[in-house]
Chains A and B, each alone.
Chain A
Amino acid sequence: MLKKILVIVLSLSLLIGVFAGCQKTEEAGVIKIGVAAPITGNYAEYGKGFDVATQMAVDKINAAGGINGKTVELVLMDSKGDAKEATEIARKFTEDPEILAVVGDFSSTCCMATAPIYTEAKMVQISPTASHPDYAGMSEYMFSVMGRQDAEGPFVAEYLAQKYVGAEKMAVIYLNNDWGVSAHTNILKRAEEIGLEVTAVENFVDGEKDFTATLTKIRQTNPDTLCLVMFYNELVIISKQIKQMGWEDVKIIALGPGISEQIVQLGGADVEGIATSTPFMVSPDNTVAVAFKNEFEQKAGFTLNVHSACAYDATNMLAKAIGNLGDNVTREAIAAELSNMKDFVGITGPIIFTANGDVFRKYLIAQIENNKWVQKTDYSYVD
């Protein structure tokens, strides 16, 4: 009997030991910021951009002496663009008392899925890219620096489609997720107001590869312009399949991918002439931005896209807010500090949050010419 009890006690203590071994000791003098980004998967280009840009921001801050003498450390986690993965990451971040705030995630769906978890923990999630109009308003701890779809959608319909490419009959294909639904609704709304005829609206679910049937269906309606609301993977596949079908007389415009390098690399000659909207592009006379762009491209190995620039700005904003708070840094205080910040100027221009916690932006038009993204209009195009 004694022996048996001994065995039980031993095995129990072993079990406890295993779990106790997982507990880590705390470090002092470090400020930790979480980064949730799709490092792998369908949005990998954007995720890698997040990684490089946030690290660049932190390196600069640390080189200048850190925040109030403390060094900043990033904790990067790969959400794969998957909302379930993102919620698990959110749980890990909120449960780690050392992590003060989070930069991320890429997609609106991920951000909106994690919002309740961060809100419960009173932790700031500042997304570089989530542009769903409802996201930032979900709580006072949610922020977004990219701009909103109810600003970009109308721009795409009125200026990119109607004014720039001269569309008269347009068909829309959108990615069926939070962002895509919101983006295309805003396009359709403005299109109706300005009398731009929309001949067909089709959607697809993330991961779809065969668009032949959908394109055949759309071609029947004879549009002169195709508006693709999606990211680089599907955009490239659709452009290729359009070429494959021998459908030459259609102009392609895109909302979503920004000036993505992957489009040019994957698409080659098949994506020539695609035009897209972007809130930001580096102009040669902006020396700070040019220096940033060069350094980014050297580190990342691909062209700077707007998403990475926003990630850089988001990290810097967060650092500034933490710095302003001095010794009174709490998760909760960072949110108030961010929403009151009126003097931040980033790579992508001045950022001042609205009452919701997001930003209204102006947009540019860029187009692929000879395998390169070229800026075609400036901010005054709207006037």
Chain B
Amino acid sequence: MYFLEQLINGICQGSIYALMAIGYAVIYGVVGLVTFTYGEIIMMGSFSAFYYFIAFGNNLWMALIAGFITAALVGVVVHKVCYQRFLDAPRYISLICTIGMSMFLKNLATILFGSEMKGMPTFFGGKFISIGTIRVGYLQLIIIAVVIILTVLLTIYLKKTRMGMRLRAVSQDKKAAALVGINVKTTTLIGNCIGCGLGGVAGILLGVYYNSVLPTMGGMAGLKAFSAMVLGGLGSIVGSAISGVIIGVVENLGIALTSSGLRDVFAFVLLVLILFIRPQGLFGKKGN
């Protein structure tokens, strides 16, 4: 029973990672570049919710929307500064740009919001469902549900709408997409904004789940998202989602067996091992 409870903790945490990884996968797929600003996007989303709660009261759903929009807007800035100019340049240039951008956003947040931890309000505090002797918190269920709904919505959007198809076309082959008359520039921008928006939502869930926001929260979160995406096969949405959950579960079970200090070790050892054994990721196709 204890094991199952930890498993649920892991799935809950993992679903937040999954959402972050999906956002990252959309960005990587469309833009084709690695970003280190993603963690700061997550942090910005989280902060937007923090201030939303102060200004308009504790409405989680509205805050999620606000967070999506804020993160998407930050995404526009990141796109203009870090990607647009460098789509055809050597990759390291935009990568360094995103490192600079991440530093910029992190320190801007420190100056604007202060470096201290801020407390998030408690949602569904103390309520839980008992299945036998297993307790599952309301908040955990809500988080998992939000992530599943968003993943389904994203998949429908990508498969069924015109814009979604354009996005998929651009992520498969930019040149071919341009040849059939797709505006590659706008499409990459929109794809990047969607990815960032998902990151922002994930950031809010993370902040609410941990009951805290602070300017440095993005660093590790961004790396986890990155690892999950690589694990899932660069740019694969389903793969990223599953890998996110895997990382969350491995972490929580790892803590259950050892100590919480080793949390991040599990994620990175998993990452390095997978890269050695299966460089294309768990769900990636060979030959890339």
Residue of B nearest to A240 (CB): B211
Stretch at the interface among A57-65, A68-76, A243-251, A276-284: A243-251
Q: Are A243 and B217 in contact (CB under 8 A)?
A: no
Chain A CB within 8 A of B260 CB: yes
Q: Which of B1-9, B47-55, B59-67 contacts A (4 or more CB under 8 A)?
A: B1-9
Chain A residues, CB < 8 A from B128:
245-246
Picked from A202, A217, A244, the residue with its CB within 8 Å of the CB of B122 is: A244
Instruction: Provide the A180-218 mask, 1 if CB < 8 A to any CB of B, else 0.
Output: 000000000000000000000011110111111110110
Residues of chain B at interface, number, CB under 8 A: 37
**Is B70 interfacial (CB 8 A cutoff)?**
no
Q: How far is the CB of A97 from chain B (nearest CB, A)?
A: 32
Q: Which of B115, B139, B255 contacts A244 (CB 8 A)?
A: B139
User: How many A-B Cβ pairs are below 8 Å?
Assistant: 101
Interface-forming stretch among A36-44, A142-150, A326-334, A370-378?
A: A36-44
A-chain residues with CB within 8 Å of residue B261 when the two chains form the complex: 176, 203-205, 208
Which of A208, A211, A245, A268 sits near B135, CB closer than 8 Å? A245
**Complexed CA–CA distance, A244 and B211 (Å):** 9
Given A202-B259, A204-B261, A205-B261: A243 touches B212 (CB 8 Å cut-off): no
The residue of chain B having its C-beta at the shortest distance from the C-beta of A48 within the complex is B116
Known: A205-B261, A216-B9, A244-B126. A233 touches B256 (CB 8 A): no
Q: Nearest-CB distance from A373 to chain B (Å)?
A: 18
Q: Which residues of B contact A339 (CB under 8 A)?
A: none
A248 touches B13 (CB 8 A): no
A23-55 contacts to B (CB < 8 Å): 40-42, 44-45
Q: Are B122 and A216 in contact (CB under 8 A)?
A: no
Question: Is residue B209 contacting chain A, with contact meaning CB distance below 8 A?
Answer: yes
B284 interface residue per 8 A CB criterion = no
A363 to chain B, nearest CB (A): 27
Report yes or no: B260 in contact with A42, Cβ–Cβ below 8 A: no
Quote the shortest CB–CB distance from A194 to chain B (angstroms). 27
Taken residue by residue from 245 to 270, chain B's Cβ proximity to chain A (1 for < 8 Å, 0 otherwise) reads as 00000011001100111010000000
- Give the distance in Å from the alpha carbon of A237 to the alpha carbon of B260 in the complex: 15
Question: Which residue of chain A lies nearest to B211 when distances are taken between CB atoms in the complex?
Answer: A240
Output the least CB separation between A302 and chain B (Å). 12
Can you name the residue of chain B whose Cβ is closest to the Cβ of A80? Answer: B115
Contact assessment for B5 and A216 in the assembled complex, using a CB-CB cutoff below 8 Å? yes
Distance, CA A233 to CA B119, complexed state (A): 9
**In the bound complex, CA of A267 to CA of B10 (Å):** 25
* Complex alpha-carbon distance, A220 and B6, angstroms: 11
Cβ-defined contact, A266 with B260, below 8 A:
no
Interface SS of B by simple majority? helix
CA distance A212 to B135 in the complex (A): 12
B13 contact set on A, CB distance < 8 A: 210, 212
Query: Is residue A236 within 8 Å, beta carbon to beta carbon, of the partner chain?
Result: yes
B265 to chain A, nearest CB (A): 11
Q: Is A348 an interface residue (CB 8 A)?
A: no
B137 at the interface (CB under 8 A from A): yes
Contact A217:B212 (CB < 8 A) given known A203-B261, A245-B128, A266-B119: no
B80 within 8 A of A: no
Are the C-beta atoms of B122 and A270 separated by less than 8 Å? Answer: yes
For residue A241, CB closer than 8 A to chain B, the reply is yes
Tell me the bound Cα distance from A214 to B119 in angstroms: 20
Closest to A238 in B: B211
How far apart sit A225 and B252, CA to CA, in the bound complex (Å)? 24
Cα A208 to Cα B211 in complex, Å, equals 12
Those of B125-141 within 8 Å (CB) of chain A: 125-128, 135, 137, 139
Residues of B within 8 A of A240 (CB): 119, 122, 211
Cross-chain pairs A/B with CB under 8 angstroms, 30 sampled: A40-B114, A40-B115, A42-B116, A42-B117, A44-B114, A202-B259, A204-B260, A208-B261, A210-B263, A213-B9, A213-B251, A213-B255, A214-B255, A216-B6, A217-B6, A217-B255, A220-B2, A236-B119, A236-B212, A237-B210, A237-B211, A241-B210, A241-B211, A243-B122, A243-B126, A244-B122, A244-B124, A245-B135, A246-B127, A270-B122
Closest to B116 in A: A44
Contacts of A41 in B (CB 8 A): 115-116
- Which B residues from 204 to 232 make CB contacts under 8 A with A? 209-212, 216-217
> What is the 8 Å Cβ interface bit string for chain A, positions 291-311, against chain B (1 contact, 0 not)?
000000000000000000000
Q: Known pairs A202-B260, A205-B260, A246-B135. 15 more at Cβ < 8 A?
A: A44-B116, A203-B259, A203-B261, A209-B217, A212-B9, A213-B252, A213-B260, A216-B9, A233-B116, A236-B212, A237-B212, A241-B210, A243-B125, A244-B137, A244-B211
Q: Are B125 and A216 in contact (CB under 8 A)?
A: no
Q: Which residues of B contact A40 (CB under 8 A)?
A: 110, 114-116
- Near A by CB (< 8 A), chain B positions 9-50 give 9-10, 12-13
Q: Distance (Å) between the CB of B112 and the closest chain A CB?
A: 14
In Å, the complex CA distance between A261 and B6 comes to 33
Q: Which residues of A contact B114 (CB under 8 A)?
A: 40, 44
Q: Are A216 and B217 in contact (CB under 8 A)?
A: no
Q: Note all chain A residues with C-beta closer than 8 A to B263.
A: 208, 210
How far apart sit A217 and B253, CA to CA, in the bound complex (Å)?
A: 10
- B110 / chain A contacts, CB cutoff of 8 Å: 40
